[in-house]
Structure formats: structure tokens, C-alpha cells
Amino acid sequence: MYTKKVMDHFSNPRNMGEIENPSGVGTVGNAKCGDIMRMYLDIDDKGIINDVKFKTFGCGAAVATSSIATELVKGKTVEDALKVTNKAVVEALDGLPPVKVHCSLLAEEAIHAALWDYAERKGIKIEGLEKPKSDIHEEEEKEEIVY
């Protein structure tokens, strides 16, 4: 049911934990399954994500998607991190069962929420970044039609 990559990131999550004095933090949840994901970003003066950590209270797929999402955004510019969609997260894991796709959406939203917090703290606007939802539940309903 789960790919090797999912099992690997679930069993050995990368970048789990938190960052003291982060540049931005984002927490999102899904009211339907009750899972919560938090992302911490450390961003330097050039807008490069030097470090990223996550904490996830959630299912195994949510842990795996958080873990791979941190690897996908680490070392990237803020602009490039914004392009890490839930589709990219699913692809990097070599796929997720359809009923678990919403878990990857949580990862995308958590990154966006942390970037939003970073922009607010700095008083800047990040092109293409919309105010994140704290509950992805509604979005997921729409997404499910697509998948």
C-alpha cells in the first residue's frame, strides 16, 4: 500500500524537531482527521532556507510528507520553496494512496503558513503567497474531486 520511500520517511523522519528563534512558523490542521502539522523555517538575509524542522501530530503519511517536504525546501529560496506543491511532495514519495493525498496537502499548507509568518515578521510580501488556511478540510473536499 505504501511505497518504500513513504515507509523510510515514516520510520526515519528527517528534520524532526523545532528551531529556536525561527524566521517563521506555520501550524495547520485538518479538522476532519484531527491531524496537525507545524513547520519551522530558518531563513537567511538572502532569502535562503538554511534550516527547516517539523513536528507532526498525525498519521504515518503525514509524518512522511512532512519529512520529505523539509528535504524539498531546505537550501531553496523562499520563491522556490513556494513552488513545492503537494503534488511535488507525493511525487517525491513515489506516490501515496488516494485516501492519503490530503496528508500531503497539509505539508504544502504548513510550508505556506511558515512562509506567511516569515513575511509578516519581516513586513514583506511574497509574490504568489496567499494567506494560508488554518484548517485544510475545505480545500481537501475540492481536491478530492480532482484526484
Q: Which parts of 107-146 interact with ligand FES (CB under 6 A)?
A: none
- Least distance between ligand FES and beta carbon 87 (Å): 16
How many of the other CB atoms lie within 10 Å of CB of 11? 11
Interacting span for ligand FES (CB under 6 A) from 69-77, 78-86, 97-105, 119-127? 97-105
- Is 59 one of the annotated active-site residues of the chain? no
- Least distance between ligand FES and beta carbon 100 (Å): 6
Q: Which parts of 8-67 interact with ligand FES (CB under 6 A)?
A: 30, 33, 35, 58-59, 61-62
- Least distance between ligand FES and beta carbon 102 (Å): 6
Contact 32, 45 (CB under 8 A): no
Interacting span for ligand FES (CB under 6 A) from 88-96, 98-106, 110-118, 127-135? 98-106
Three-state SS for the chain is CCCHHHHHHHHCCCCECCCCCCCEEEEEEECCCCEEEEEEEEECCCCEEEEEEEEEECCHHHHHHHHHHHHHHCCCEHHHHHCCCHHHHHHHCCCCCHHHHHHHHHHHHHHHHHHHHHHHHHCCCCCCCCCCCCECHHHHHHHHHHC
- Least distance between ligand FES and beta carbon 30 (Å): 5
Interacting span for ligand FES (CB under 6 A) from 9-17, 66-74, 95-103, 108-116? 95-103
Judged by the rule CB under 6 A, the positions of this chain that interact with ligand FES are 30, 33, 35, 58-59, 61-62, 100, 102-103, 106
